[in-house]
Structure 1
Amino acid sequence: MLRSGAGGIGLRELLDRVSVPQGEIQELLRKMIERGDLLLIDPDKLRAIDMRQYQQLREMARAQLKDFLQKFPMKSGLAKEELRTKLPPEMDVKLFQILLNGLIQSGEVILEKDKLKLKEHRVSSGDEKGLLKRIEEAMLKGGLQPASSRELSEEWIEDEEAIRQILEHLAHEGILVKVKGGMYFHRTHIEHLKEKLIAYLKKNREINTTQFKEITGVSRKFSIPLIEYLDQTKLTLRLGEKRVLRSGATQG
């Protein structure tokens, strides 16, 4: 049962795996469930999961919540469906709901308006010094060559970790775009860049890194992560040393 993984295993699957009469398997499962060795997931299919595996999933869910709330201390919580995407894919809706109910009933996790949080979590404004507004303005002013968290920290004499958390928060809210190397750009500039690049490629059909650097007016430090981001978001397609517009790519 332990080897069955995060999805558990049902009676039909067990019958396919072992040469034991159905009645004996059913009786064994019943006894293991009564002893607390197994957790029943689906009574109709007699599907269960090893309790040790279930406890690991609980800890995994708690760890994911803790990690999210540390990254986004200004958030009131994590949406249920978002938490589910962070857990093993073989965990179905029934098991996820059982796990969630268990965490909520134990008091370890609190559900408020479809948002989950650990009981010890307290929402931090993170903006006592007006950092959120200052950072967004700095990213907007920085264009396609914005300051890093370290540079802002040194310029403003502020804690770099606090700045990094707000950058993550703004990226999660869709105000900033995070690209490779931990760089953040204001979405306004990214959208303008996309429009400019689409127009260029429709006219010239292809672009190399030198030409991309010229139309953006930025150094390689920024141009390379930017063009790779556009590849990853499937706006452009890399063919050797050149890029072309992907078929069906739009400004959105």
Structure 2
Amino acid sequence: AVLRALERESASDALQELLGLSPLGLDLGRLALLWNLGEAEFEAACKAVAMTRVTTGLRTLAFTRERWDALREHAESTLGAWLENASDSRGMTAEALRGALSERLPRPVFDALIAELLAEKHLVRDGPLLLSPGHTVSLSASDAQLAEQLFAVLAAVKLQPPKVAQLAAQLNADDKRLRTLLRRLAQSGELHAISADYYFPPSTVAEIAAITARLAQQEPDRIFTVARFRTETGVSRNLTIPLLEVFDRVGFTLRVGEGRRVRREWAAVLAGMHDR
């Protein structure tokens, strides 16, 4: 189908057909090179076709307007449905929303989609969370008090957080209630879930990320091992792999063979979490 589209005599006709065959975006820069068209001629062909252009870094991707509108509506409705089912939640992280969509969009496309919805106020942002306009929620007085006690404990223990069951015993709190609160605080970005049993405050994760970045700079080829990570950070054995897997998942580190390298600064990772 793509070859047939490329063989069309009219560039605009070919472009229209190619757009329909590119649900994740048509790379206009690559297409211009493939056709060997001058900038003015290629731009004229683009203007003859109804499309939405999305700039992602050095690339410009094009979508049919129907496809782009459908992606927007799907993101809005997915978030709205989630908030309706989790009415006590302050919002949804962008990465969680990206994972909840029926098809996983490339991150640059998703970023552009969310940026547009935010700019047009179809979505609003509260720190790292996305929510529908008008959505409000707050912790009950008792949960707010428990959260303050929880933050104090986690800040004190830093790199050696107790398991949730131990936290519940220490705070004299019901285990199920505490787990629910921890999940809510993780969704709101006030804590980072390392696993089902361990949570870190954002400041602690940022500290570990800073140590990791320094470690990578010192290693040959900028690749560090799990053992070196554990030694340098002081993270316990049972948290080392789960924490590195979190770093991989959010794009801070990349696994390379038996080691890992730092992909980008932690501040950039956080900015991406907030903006996506």
TM bucket, shorter chain = 0.5 to 0.7
Distance in 2 between the 1:232 and 1:78 partners? 17
Structure 1 runs (4+) deviating above 6 angstroms are 60-63, 82-85
Tell me if 1:214 matches 2:244. Answer: no
**8 Å contact from structure 1 (residues 136, 186) kept in 2:** yes
> 1:169 is aligned with what amino acid?
R
Change (3 A) 1:227 1:62: closer
> 2:179 is aligned with what amino acid?
R
Residue in structure 1 matching 2:202, options 182, 187, 196: 187
Partner of 1:69: 87
> 1:219 is aligned with what amino acid?
S
Distance in 2 between the 1:62 and 1:244 partners? 37
Gaps of 5+ in 1: 1-44, 46-57, 90-112
**8 Å contact from structure 2 (residues 92, 188) kept in 1:** no
Partner of 1:142: 157
Q: Deviations over 1:17-54 (max 9, x none)?
A: xxxxxxxxxxxxxxxxxxxxxxxxxxxx9xxxxxxxxx
Distance in 1 between the 2:250 and 2:143 partners? 35
Partner of 2:244: 227
> 1:64 is aligned with what amino acid?
W
Residue in structure 1 matching 2:259, options 224, 242, 249: 242
Partner of 2:174: 159
**8 Å contact from structure 1 (residues 64, 86) kept in 2:** no
Report the 3-state secondary structure (helix = DSSP H, G, I; strand = E; otherwise coil) of the residue aligned with 1:147.
coil
Q: Deviations over 1:152-206 (max 9, x none)?
A: 1122321112212221232223221112445211110111111111111112122
> 2:151 is aligned with what amino acid?
E
Instruction: Tell me how many residue pairs correspond in the alignment.
Output: 161
> 1:193 is aligned with what amino acid?
I
**8 Å contact from structure 2 (residues 254, 260) kept in 1:** yes
**Higher relative contact order structure (alpha carbons within 8 Å, sequence separation ≥ 6):** 2
**8 Å contact from structure 1 (residues 213, 220) kept in 2:** yes
Partner of 1:7: none
Q: Deviations over 1:122-173 (max 9, x none)?
A: 9651526820100111121221221222111122321112212221232223
Tell me if 1:251 matches 2:270. Answer: no
> For the aligned residues, what is the CA RMSD?
3.5
Distance in 2 between the 1:164 and 1:126 partners? 17
In our comparison, the structure showing a higher alpha carbon Rg is 1
Q: How does 1:192-203 map to 2 (within 5 A)?
A: 192-203=207-218
Which segment drifts farther, 144-153 or 221-230? 144-153
Partner of 1:171: 186
Gaps of 5+ in 2: 1-65, 67-76, 104-131, 268-276
> 1:69 is aligned with what amino acid?
S
Partner of 1:131: 146
Residue in structure 2 matching 1:114, options 133, 136, 151: 133
> 1:150 is aligned with what amino acid?
A
Change (3 A) 1:65 1:215: same
Change (3 A) 1:163 1:203: same
Distance in 2 between the 1:78 and 1:217 partners? 31
TM-score, with length taken from structure 2 = 0.49
**8 Å contact from structure 1 (residues 237, 243) kept in 2:** yes
